[in-house]
Each structure stands twice: as structure tokens, then as C-alpha cells.
Amino acid sequence: QEEDVRDQSVWWKEKQQQLLDIVEEEGPSYVYDTQTLEKYAGLIQEIEAVDRTLYAIKANANPEVMRTFHSLGFGFECVSIGEVHRVIELFPDIDRKDILFTPNFAPKSEYEEALELEVNLTLDNIYPLQQWPEVFRGQELFLRIDPGHGHGHHKHVKTGGVHSKFGIPRFEIEEVAELVEELNLTIKGLHAHIGSGIKDPLSWKRTAIILHEVAEQLGGVDILDLGGGFGIRENDTQAHLDIKQVNESLNEFKEAEPQYELWVEPGRFLVAVAGVLLTRVTQLKGKGQVKYVGVDTGMNSFIRPALYGARHTIVNLSRLEEPNSQSVNIVGPICESGDKLGIDRLFPQCKEGDVILVANTGAYGQVMSSDYNLRAPAKDVVI
């Protein structure tokens, strides 16, 4: 059952014709499937110890996608005041405490605005407390702690440890405790997010244990936010994250320390598999042994392969039934040699106009796109 839900190809194989029609009308497009969003939300809800899920909208801030999670009762985690405004504009009646604002090196004005808007606010540095005490006096806050280690699919997305710019290091906690007293602060929750694309199911329990130790030092903490980072399978060779083990390990933690509310803030896990990027073949080229399939959008729409070497499943949606007969590089129209959606892919023969599908691109796809080379990136379509 669970494998079926997670099989990345189920939904787009079923909706092949609808997807081909969308590209015909819209050109290069990201298409998101609402039912798959709901299925993945259901998997996160299987983690019984979690009391609250906040969707990290940096992964995909499409209004329809956000509406889906809002209607399931999820809150929202935001990293910029722009993201906070997006949530409030879409859901004017939202309880402001369903929004957690977790800025990093933001200007003073964003903290002031967040407090005015009465959203939950996380500090990830003691500088604001030391330099702008008047802004925070008497406030209720979350603190982002650096547990001392990071984890993730690529060094760019590890957000813990001394080489990462995020979080308050544990050696500063005593200083924090003094500032808490001096400024009459309430530390409502502790937060940690150690990275993205994590497949180790014990990672969140490890974070919980460290946050618990810090909470003991500070006293009075009710909420532990264990961050996001839940990994997905970008192609068939990768493993699933074992949600059952995440569940069991967090149940163990909750049994030992029942005094906390546990929060998580997944982005990728909720949206990645529900999205595909569709683009059409423009030209074919052979350079000796190397064959290129050119398509009408590239790193301007989807930068993950260029930025992290990400390897997403790619198929020729116009020829799903045809056998693979060649190895190709699938490349976009952008003026950089790094503009590759996929390298060394087994593919059927292709023709100009064929629709190419890049799978599991619902997270960190459209949100990281640009009009580099003044080429408009793929549009968003929700089905």
C-alpha cells in the first residue's frame, strides 16, 4: 500500500494524455497533482508523536498547493517576510500563531514587522537580542539551535555544525539564558533544522534529544520543532525514507519526554513527488559518441541538476511504451555548459516536439527558477 502511494510514476502515467495536452497549450510547465500532495501529507501524519506540521513554503509557494495544506490543518513555516505576507494574503483569517517565521541574517525591520503581525518568531543568533534589545523585551520567542552537526543530500544544504551559518551554537546557551532573564523573554519553543534530503530515519529523534538537553538548561520550553529535511526518492535507484522508523523513534522520545509538543516543518517531502516539469524536444545532435536531446527549457526552470548534481527520473512522455535504445544528455537552451537536466540517460528514439517529463520536481523547482537569458521559465499548473 505504502509503496503504491510513493511510486513516483503512478500519477503521471495515469494522467499522460492530460499532461500532453497541458504542454500543447501552455508550453514548458510544472504540473502538480493535488491527490499526490494529499497522499504525502497522509504519510507525514503517520508520525504519531508529531503534534503540529508546518509546511515550509520555500519548497513551493504556489497558492493552490498552499491551499491544499491549509485545508488539511497544517501551519506554515516562512523564511522571509515576503513568505509571511504570502500566507496572510491567502488566508486572512489564519491564526497568526500557525505561522512560524524563521529568518536568517534578516534586517532588524523584518523582526519588528513579524512581532507586529504577531506571528511566531525564531531567532537564530544572539546578535538581535544583544544589539536590538528594545525590539524583543517581554516577547515570546522560539530559538533556533545548532545541534552541532548537519545532514543532507549535498554540502550546500547542510545547515548544522560550525561551517553552517545557521543556529545558535550550544556554547552560547548560558549567554542566551542571561539575556532571557534580562529582557524578560519567554522561550516558547526550540527549533533545529539540520539540513535537507535526509534519509536517516533516526535524525529527528537525535535532534529532539539535543533540543531537550538545551530546554533543560533554559527551562520553561513547551515546544520542540524538529525541522524539515525529510528526504524523497528522486530516481528509482534511491531509497525511500523509512517513515515507520521515524514514527517509532519519535514515539520512544515522546514516551521518555512527554512534556513537549513536537512540531515538524517539511517542505520537499510534501510536494516533490506531486510535481513534474514538462518540456518539449527542440533539436537533436550527435557529437561522436555523445548524443544530445535539446528541450525548450533548462536550468532557468530547474536548477537542481546544475547546482547539486541532482539526478531526477526523466522520461519521454510521448513514448512511454517504446524501448530505450540510446544513452543521451538532456539539455536546455541556456548559454552554459552546465545547462543539463539529465546526463547519460537511457532513452527511446526522440523526435522534435516530443514531451519530456522530469519527475519529482514539485519541490525547489519553480521557486528557484529565473528568467536567466531572458527565457521565461516554466509556468505552474495545478490539476
| Among candidate residues 276, 267, 271, the one with its CA nearest the CA of residue 341 | 276
Query: Which residues, in sequence order, are bridge partners of residue 190?
Result: 143, 224
Nearer to ligand LLP, 77 or 380 (CB): 77
Q: Note whether 197 binds ligand LLP by CB under 6 A.
A: yes
Residues classed as catalytic: 335
Supply the minimum distance, in Å, between the C-beta of residue 144 and ligand LLP. Answer: 7
Q: Note whether 267 binds ligand LLP by CB under 6 A.
A: yes
In Å, what is the CA distance from 325 to each residue of 13, 132, 285, 291? 21, 64, 16, 12
Supply the minimum distance, in Å, between the C-beta of residue 321 and ligand LLP. Answer: 31
Nearer to ligand LLP, 231 or 332 (CB): 231
Which H or E run includes 280? strand 275-287
Supply the minimum distance, in Å, between the C-beta of residue 326 and ligand LLP. Answer: 29
**What phi-psi label fits residue 79: left (phi over 0), alpha (psi between -120 and 50 degrees) or beta?**
alpha
Pairing of strands 120-123, 75-78: unpaired
Binding piece for ligand LLP, criterion CB under 6 A, among 52-60, 236-244, 273-281, 290-298:
52-60
Nearer to ligand LLP, 304 or 345 (CB): 304
Q: Note whether 364 binds ligand LLP by CB under 6 A.
A: yes
Residue 96 and residue 230: Cα distance in Å, rounded? 25
Contact pattern for ligand LLP over residues 135 through 174, marking x by CB under 6 A: ----------------------x-----------------
| Phi/psi at 141 (5° precision) | -135, 160
Residue 161 and residue 236: Cα distance in Å, rounded? 31
Contact pattern for ligand LLP over residues 317 through 356, marking x by CB under 6 A: ----------------------------------------
Nearer to ligand LLP, 59 or 328 (CB): 59
Q: Note whether 121 binds ligand LLP by CB under 6 A.
A: no
Supply the minimum distance, in Å, between the C-beta of residue 275 and ligand LLP. Answer: 12
The alpha helices in 166-242, defined as continuous H runs, are: 173-182, 203-218
Nearer to ligand LLP, 6 or 193 (CB): 193
Binding piece for ligand LLP, criterion CB under 6 A, among 133-141, 209-217, 222-230, 330-338:
222-230
Binding piece for ligand LLP, criterion CB under 6 A, among 54-62, 182-190, 244-252, 291-299:
54-62
User: Per CB under 6 A, which of residues 83..112 are in contact with ligand LLP?
Assistant: 102
Please list, in sequence order, all residues whose beta carbon lies within 8 angstroms of the beta carbon of residue 143, skipping any fewer than 6 positions away.
Answer: 122, 123, 124, 168, 176, 187, 189, 190, 191
Task: Specify the amino acid at residue 320.
Answer: L
The alpha helices in the chain, defined as continuous H runs, are: 2-6, 10-14, 16-26, 34-45, 63-71, 81-90, 108-117, 127-131, 133-136, 173-182, 203-218, 243-256, 268-271, 304-308
Nearer to ligand LLP, 265 or 339 (CB): 265
Q: Note whether 304 binds ligand LLP by CB under 6 A.
A: yes
Residue 205 and residue 195: Cα distance in Å, rounded? 14
Kindly list the residues in this chain that would bind ligand LLP in the complex (CB under 6 A). 56, 58-59, 77, 102, 157, 193, 196-197, 227-230, 265-269, 304, 308, 363-364
